[in-house]
Chains A and B, each alone.
Chain A
Amino acid sequence: MRSLAALVLLAALARPAAAAPLRAEGAWFRYLLSSIPAGGYVTLTNPGPATVVLTGVASPACGSLMFHRTDSQGGMERMVAVPRIRVPAGGRFRFAPGGYHLMCDAPHMHRGQTVPVTFRLAHGAPLVVRFAVRGANASGPRASAPAPARMKSQ
């Protein structure tokens, strides 16, 4: 808990001396009940010339937060924890329904709120992204999401 607080403080102090290495878009949690995990989704874009490696993730709104992937094979779904995420140079990484997602255990948040999520980077200052908290039938961060929820085809 203390390391989390330190991390959040560090993130708050880490004013962008240099441009942030990643850009985050469309960040949202599907919040259901406080007793069950909430799935988080976001698209991270890396405009820089080097791969950015994410080594972990944390949020004061989650008991624990992890990178996860839904592994889908022949109609079988399996959740797999993923230790690190690589956002390629000049490319992007999508956490999207049916694929990679953030698994927020013991969520304490409520719909309509935004909550901070801190991504730890292998090199450089952590990245803090605000996630919109949406309800069961949401398909994106805004109420008028243009496209219906569609899982990433595997």
Chain B
Amino acid sequence: MSEPRPPPARGYALVGVLFAVLLFAAGGFLWLSGRRGDLLGGPFRLENAAGRTVTDRSFRGRYMLVYFGYTHCPDVCPTTLANVAGALHELGPAAARLAAVFISVDPARDTPAVIGRYTALFSKRIIGLTGTPAEIARVAGEYHIYYKKHPTGPGKLDYSVDHSSLLFLMSPTGRFIAPITASSSASELAAALRRLM
């Protein structure tokens, strides 16, 4: 036996309430996302693997997935980049709407040539960027990225870099959309990007 149907008036009221809730949620989301757009990110001027100048405006018209790290990072950075490469693959044609950008927080060791060879190991579609220490400090500041050299030995080049590890999704107009946890698997990352793009 099926349950008796609710009288039509109650049904309409329920639809009305649901609609109101949806409208409120959508409004709240738009308001919040509008506000959030100004919280993170901003103009930058960096160098790509070919040594050419690249700015935030170079990526307008595409979503931008931003990750900060360094090539001498043996664990978290390559794991994250492998998952970004996997997500780009899973996204298929939709990946063309996205620029995946890896920005070095170790400009002393990560020259344009080094960062280019490094990102190409994961995916030709991951764009490696580096810059002068001042340029890196500026873009890291805009994305609220903390990074600090941490000596590991006596040599000048014996250090690791403590750094914030988060992915940021920016809109095609350069506004902040959402952070994505860097420990996401390739599938989780692809699902998050599908939802947000």
Q: Which residues of A contact B122 (CB under 8 A)?
A: 136-137
Identify which of A1-9, A50-58, A71-79, A120-128 touches chain B. A71-79
Q: Is B75 touching A98 in the complex (CB atoms < 8 A)?
A: yes
Instruction: Say how far A106's CB is from chain B's closest CB, in angstroms.
Output: 11
Q: Is B83 touching A148 in the complex (CB atoms < 8 A)?
A: yes
List CB contacts (< 8 Å) of A116-138 with chain B. 135-138
Say whether B166 faces chain A, with CB atoms less than 8 Å apart.
Answer: yes
Q: Which residues of B contact A33 (CB under 8 A)?
A: 71, 117-118, 121
Q: Given A68-B75, A78-B162, A151-B182, output 18 extra A-B contacts at Cβ < 8 Å.
A: A32-B118, A38-B74, A39-B74, A70-B76, A72-B76, A76-B165, A77-B73, A77-B76, A77-B165, A79-B74, A97-B76, A98-B79, A136-B122, A137-B122, A137-B123, A139-B82, A148-B187, A149-B79
Q: Which residues of B contact A36 (CB under 8 A)?
A: 71-72, 74, 118
How many residues on the A side are at the interface (Cβ–Cβ under 8 A)?
32
Say whether B33 faces chain A, with CB atoms less than 8 Å apart.
Answer: no
Q: Chain A binding site: helix, strand, loop or mixed by DSSP?
A: loop
Chain B residues within CB distance 8 Å of chain A: 71-76, 78-79, 81-83, 85-86, 114, 117-118, 121-123, 146, 150, 152, 160, 162-166, 182-183, 185-187
Q: Give the CA-CA distance A103 to B77 in the complex, in Å.
A: 13
Q: Is A98 touching B76 in the complex (CB atoms < 8 A)?
A: yes
Given known A-B contacts A137-B122, A150-B185, A79 and B160 have beta carbons under 8 A apart: yes
